[in-house]
Amino acid sequence: MTQPFRKGRYQARLAASAEDIRTAQRLRWLCFVARVGAHDDGSQHDRDHLDQECQHMLVEDTQTGQLVCCFRLLHLPNGKDIGRSYSAQFYNLAALQDFDGPMVEIGRFCVHPEHRDPDIIRVAWGAITRYVDQAEVGMLFGCSSFMGTEPEQHAEAFAMLRERHLAPRRWLPRVKAPNVFRFARKLRLRKPDPRLAMMAMPPLLRSYLALGGWVSDHAVVDPQLKTMHVFTGVEIRAIPPARKRLLRAVSQ
């Protein structure tokens, strides 16, 4: 995506400088680390080795200039390189090595805790859609996080994922992390309440599911960030046509 994408008061653009990336890393720290009670002296940043390999998308409030959302994109030519991804640290992704088209991992997606305008997510997805079309991406994937590490907190959502949204067997991620909750097994007899389940889904995951996305059959427990996350993927060619038209309309 070479040009900024703007809708209403928000603009999405790729980071163009080291300062842009530092600003994104600062927002990530506020969203992921400060949230669990870490002391903030104003200088902390969330960073790792993948930052230098990724492109970083910034969503800004054009009226104030404030960064309100960010995420990073790791472009892979095909599934043979999936071991380079952040997700591969936590999931056995051997099945996805056979994917024969370009893939993009969306990572560290966060929205500023003081900004809850749904248009922020819409602009983010408009930018993703434009990026996917321009790069001819075949699959989007990443980790979708639930806040809190007690499985019962998320039981309705996990039961819904088990019933309707498990990955196709040919792409199914296998267990790799030492601490997981195998919800497809544990909740096989639980009938979810669809309304409660969707209310409990993280916004990014809801967006994936609306595109026909699918998830791993287990959640990885992260006691440090106090989250549980599921591997999430969506094949671009499998997105329902009506949804594709809507996304492309948003991205114009």
Q: Please give the backbone phi and psi of residue 142, each rounded to the nearest 5 degrees, phi first.
A: 170, -170
How buried is residue 140: exposed, middle or buried, by Cβ count under 10 Å (0-12/13-18/19+)? buried
pLDDT tens-place values along the chain, 252 residues long? 667 889 889 999 999 999 999 999 999 999 999 888 777 887 899 999 999 999 999 999 999 999 999 999 999 999 999 999 999 999 999 999 999 999 999 999 999 999 989 999 999 999 999 999 999 999 999 999 999 999 999 999 999 999 999 999 999 999 999 999 999 999 999 999 999 999 999 988 999 999 999 999 999 999 989 999 999 999 999 888 888 777 676 666
pLDDT on residue 43: 84
DSSP E strand boundaries for the chain? 5-7, 10-14, 55-61, 67-76, 91-92, 103-111, 139-147, 174-175, 180-181, 214-215, 219-222, 227-235
Distance CA 11, CA 152 (A): 38
Query: Which pair of tokens denotes residue 96?
Result: 């996805």
Pick the CATH number of 5-250 from 3.30.1240.10, 3.60.15.10, 3.40.30.10, 3.40.630.30: 3.40.630.30
Look up the pTM and report it.
Answer: 0.94
